[in-house]
């Protein structure tokens, strides 16, 4: 084969092996997925610098960050539930939701601070406020939320200042929704291909996953006659989580791939099973004590596994230069052909 | 001096048009510097004259007292990458200049015979030079001494099929791009990263709390956390030297003027002229990278003249500052938060009151 000046790159190829290895060609693995789902991803040809990643994978630690996401989601949704249960006179559900919300809030702060490279400087997070930094906005959501939710739970536990409880609970509920969903922005506002591509979906995945976890945990802890709202929120959250996650896993061509493969794929398949089983069990047996406990545990486990799975998928997409180069090449090609790319990454 | 904001110009009210992406004619002014700030400076790295000597890497390490590490960023280890003459491997917390090294081949058609001397195949030559016994013995001697098959892998002169291989080395000194719209700067929650009066992007080590958010937010994979320290580090374009009127260490050390430092507009003009020269000389594959102010990062403060596709050098082909899509993300988060409240309310209202 003769390559002259007219071929792309004037025919130059990296000189380290037979031609087949010079352009790295990877075929996505066909097997290993239940249901025989066919991947709609064509094999990608791309060039890289010795296969090294182009972007740096996040330095966030696991399990700190996935746990933080899980706890933040559960705390946020259960704080809203607590405030509404309080206003509609459901004392046991109010109390348990406040415990879940306060405990998860305080624990999530601990995990977030532990993840810092310089934990003793965590207060630097509140030095400035920057709308372009989801972590800055998140700090201003988490700080008042954890203070209010933690204080409300403590007051509930100790039985002091009964009038302040309702106020604290409402303050926490105001920040609860943003706390559960801003983490989707936190992940997608990075150059990590599989997170950034799903930037319109991840807030819904995390918010819905938070509802499933919060609903599941409060349902498991509360008497069944008061836990109706928990059951409904848990089932709705699980359904939305499954639907949103289905989009993330299938709508984004090659950058959806990491959600199916390896560790992330295993975690997300387990997450789906737990969430679906938990939701089904809630409907069938949620009004029985044992059923509520098992279903709640399954929903919480599903939510936790979803966070770990999404985290791992992003890490995998950052480590492989394919996921950075191929979508950007597609974007360039689409621009040259004069039409907008179908997917913005 | 007015207050210097580390926020994107979009949120300081100084820029109504180019908010989170696009060209910014006065980066320092957008960041809050007075009109008399110095001109924006940058690097133009002309890889067509890079000889891969790594003087830039050494000068950078020495001036900035960067610790030793191997090609994967492991501290205090001498490690060979095992893939090329590049044992630095990547930009990172301890390597603020990285000389990429790529060895390439291509096959070219040469109208040459496989054996014999030039002119042998000419039909109109008076006396055939292959007639004599001397020449025949020479050819057999060559055959016996040289393993022609092995040599054809390396030596274009002994290629047997009429196709020949050419070899070239691409060398490029990579560095932080000091983007017009810098992802690291946009996402830093502490204000540790800031825009200097020279238009560069620098980390304040006494502010950084090691949250690590800037690391995956850089579309070029430049900034990195030093594991044992916890904070992040990257090229400062020798901020300390600039304030004293000196050039950055790498540009000072470069023996071939592959790394050129100067005012960005002058460098851009010089780069355009250099590209035109190379194109006129027939270097078809030469292209500027990071020069276009309409690209995804609003143009880079450190830009390059490359001889192949960016990804060959480990650079992203079409980087986009990640905050370009941030408004859509905040909208989605707001909608999702409203969804939670809505679901919770209907769950509460739709449930039978106990007792």
Higher pLDDT, B78 or A47: A47
Establish if B123 belongs to a structural domain: no
Q: Which residue of B has its CA nearest to A184?
A: B333
- Pair B158, B148: CB distance under 8 Å: yes
Q: What is the pLDDT of residue A163?
A: 83
A319 interfaces chain B, CB cutoff of 8 Å: no
How far apart are the C-alpha atoms of A117 and B205, rounded to whole Å? 12
Residue B194 shares a structural domain with residue B155: no
Clarify whether residues B264 and B299 are in a common domain. Answer: yes
The reply to whether B77 and B158 lie within a common domain is no
* Count of domains forming chain B: 2
pLDDT band at A18 (very low <50, low <70, confident <90, very high): very low
Q: Let me know whether B220 and B305 are in one domain.
A: yes
Q: Identify whether residues B93 and B154 lie together within a single domain.
A: no
Q: Does any domain span residue B181?
A: yes
Domain assignment of residue B65, yes or no:
yes
Architecture of domain A64-325: Up-down Bundle (1.20)
Q: Give yes or no for a contact between B251 and B43, defined as CB atoms under 8 angstroms apart.
A: yes
Q: How far is CA A24 from each of CA A20, A43, A131, B99, rounded to the nearest angstrom?
A: 8, 11, 40, 22
pLDDT tens column, B239-252? 999 999 999 999 99
- Asked if B348's CB is within 8 angstroms of A84's CB, the reply is yes
- pLDDT higher than threshold 90 for residue B71: no
Instruction: Compute the average pLDDT of residues A311-328.
Output: 97
> Are residues B60 and B89 part of one domain?
yes
B138 and B175 belong to one structural domain: no
Q: Does some domain include residue B214?
A: yes
Same domain, yes or no, for B191 and B311? yes
Same domain for B284 and B179: yes
Residue B331 maps to a domain:
no
Q: Does A106 lie at the interface with B, CB-CB under 8 angstroms?
A: no
Same domain? B153 vs B100:
no
Domain assignment present for B139: yes
Instruction: Say if CB A132 and CB B193 are below 8 A apart.
Output: no
pLDDT value, residue A279 = 98
Q: How close does chain A come to B141, measured CA to CA in Å?
A: 31
The β-bridge partners of B174 are B98
Same domain, B150 and B269: no
Query: Residue B287 belongs to a domain with what CATH number?
Result: 3.30.70.20
Indicate the average pLDDT of chain B: 85
pLDDT digits (tens, 9 = 90+) for A143-169: 999 999 999 999 999 988 888 899 999
Q: How far is B125 from chain A (nearest CA, A)?
A: 30
Is residue B221 within 8 Å of A53, Cβ to Cβ?
A: yes
| Whether residues B193 and B203 fall in one domain | yes
Residue A5: predicted pLDDT: 42
Whole-number pLDDT of residue A244: 98
- If you search the block for the tokens 């399990």, which residue do you land on? A63
What is the structure's pLDDT at B75?
85
How far A36 CA sits from the closest chain B CA (Å)?
32
* Cα B197 versus chain centre, distance: 23
Q: Give mean pLDDT, residues A112-131.
A: 95
**CB of B51 within 8 Å of any CB in chain A?**
no
B150 pLDDT exceeds 60?
Answer: no
Task: Report if residue B213 sits inside a domain.
Answer: yes
Contact B251, B302 (CB under 8 A): no
Classify residue B60: in a domain, yes or no. Answer: yes
- Among A24-38, A252-266, A298-312, B91-105, name the one with the lowest average pLDDT: A24-38
pTM across the whole model: 0.86
Instruction: Please state, in angstroms and as integers, the Cα–Cα distance from residue A261 to each residue in A31, B197, B232, following that order.
Output: 10, 46, 31
ipTM of the complex model: 0.89
pLDDT of residue A3: 36
Percent of chain A with pLDDT over 90: 81
**Which structural domain range is residue B67 located in?**
38-105+171-324
Interface test with A, best of B12, B161, B179, B216 (most A CBs within 10 A): B216
**Domain chopping of chain A, boundaries:** 64-325
Q: What is the pLDDT of residue A205?
A: 98
Mean pLDDT of B20-27: 89
């Amino acid at each position: 084969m003769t390559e002259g000046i007219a071929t792309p790159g004037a025919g130059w190829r990296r000189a380290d092996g037979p031609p087949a290895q010079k352009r790295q060609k990877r075929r996505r693995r066909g097997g290993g997925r239940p249901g025989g789902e066919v991947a709609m991803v064509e094999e990608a040809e791309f060039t890289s610098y010795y296969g090294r990643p182009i972007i740096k994978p996040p330095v966030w630690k696991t399990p700190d960050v996935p746990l933080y996401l899980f706890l933040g989601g559960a705390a946020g949704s259960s704080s809203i539930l607590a405030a509404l249960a309080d206003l509609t006179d459901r004392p046991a559900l109010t109390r348990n939701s406040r415990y879940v919300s306060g405990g998860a809030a305080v624990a999530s702060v601990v995990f977030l601070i532990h993840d810092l490279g310089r934990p003793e400087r965590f207060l630097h997070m509140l030095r400035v406020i920057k709308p372009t930094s989801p972590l800055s906005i998140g700090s201003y959501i988490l700080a008042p939320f954890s203070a209010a939710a933690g204080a409300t739970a403590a007051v509930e536990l100790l039985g002091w200042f009964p009038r302040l409880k309702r106020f604290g609970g409402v303050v926490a509920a105001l920040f609860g929704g943003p706390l559960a969903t801003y983490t989707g922005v936190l992940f997608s506002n990075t150059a990590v291909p599989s997170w950034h591509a799903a930037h319109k979906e991840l807030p819904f995945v995390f918010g819905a996953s938070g509802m499933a976890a919060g609903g599941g945990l409060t349902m498991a802890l509360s008497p069944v006659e008061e836990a109706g709202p928990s059951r409904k929120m848990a089932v709705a959250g699980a359904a939305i989580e499954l639907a949103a996650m289905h989009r993330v896993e299938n709508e984004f061509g090659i950058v959806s791939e990491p959600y199916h493969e390896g560790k992330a794929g295993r975690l997300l398949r387990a997450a789906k099973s737990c969430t679906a089983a938990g939701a089904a069990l809630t409907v069938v047996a949620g009004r029985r004590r044992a059923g509520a406990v098992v279903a709640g545990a399954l929903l919480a486990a599903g939510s936790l596994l979803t966070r770990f799975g999404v985290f791992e998928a992003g890490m995998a997409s950052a480590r492989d230069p394919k996921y950075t180069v191929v979508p950007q090449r597609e974007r360039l090609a689409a621009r040259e052909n004069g039409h907008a790319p179908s997917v913005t990454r | 001096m007015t207050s210097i904001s580390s926020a994107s110009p979009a949120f300081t009210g100084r820029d109504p048009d180019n908010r989170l992406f696009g060209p910014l004619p006065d980066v320092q002014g957008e960041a809050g510097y007075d009109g008399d700030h110095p001109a924006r400076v940058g690097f133009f790295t002309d890889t067509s004259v890079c000889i891969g000597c790594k003087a830039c890497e050494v000068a950078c390490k020495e001036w900035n007292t960067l610790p030793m590490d191997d090609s994967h960023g492991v501290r205090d280890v001498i490690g060979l990458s095992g893939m090329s003459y590049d044992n630095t491997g990547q930009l990172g917390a301890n390597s603020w200049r990285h000389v990429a090294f790529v060895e390439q081949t291509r096959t070219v058609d040469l109208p040459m015979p496989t054996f014999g001397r030039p002119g042998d195949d000419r039909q109109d030559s008076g006396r055939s030079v292959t007639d004599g016994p001397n020449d025949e013995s020479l050819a057999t001697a060559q055959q016996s001494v040289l393993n022609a098959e092995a040599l054809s892998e390396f030596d274009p002169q002994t290629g047997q099929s009429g196709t020949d291989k050419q070899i070239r080395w691409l060398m490029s000194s990579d560095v932080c791009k000091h983007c017009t719209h810098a992802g690291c700067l946009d996402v830093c929650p502490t204000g540790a990263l800031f825009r200097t009066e020279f238009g560069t992007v620098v980390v304040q080590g006494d502010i950084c709390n090691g949250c690590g958010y800037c690391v995956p937010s850089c579309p070029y994979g430049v900034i990195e956390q030093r594991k044992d320290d916890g904070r992040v580090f990257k090229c400062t374009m020798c901020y300390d030297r600039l304030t004293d009127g000196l050039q950055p260490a790498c540009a000072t050390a470069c023996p071939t003027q592959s790394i050129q430092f100067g005012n960005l507009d002058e460098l851009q003009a010089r780069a355009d002229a250099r590209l035109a020269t190379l194109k006129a000389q027939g270097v078809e594959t030469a292209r500027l990278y990071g020069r276009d102010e309409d690209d995804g990062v609003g143009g880079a403060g450190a830009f390059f003249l490359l001889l192949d596709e960016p990804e060959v050098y480990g650079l992203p082909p079409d980087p986009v500052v990640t905050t370009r899509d941030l408004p859509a993300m905040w909208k989605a988060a707001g909608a999702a938060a409203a969804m939670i409240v809505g679901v919770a309310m209907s769950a509460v209202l739709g449930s039978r009151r106990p007792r």
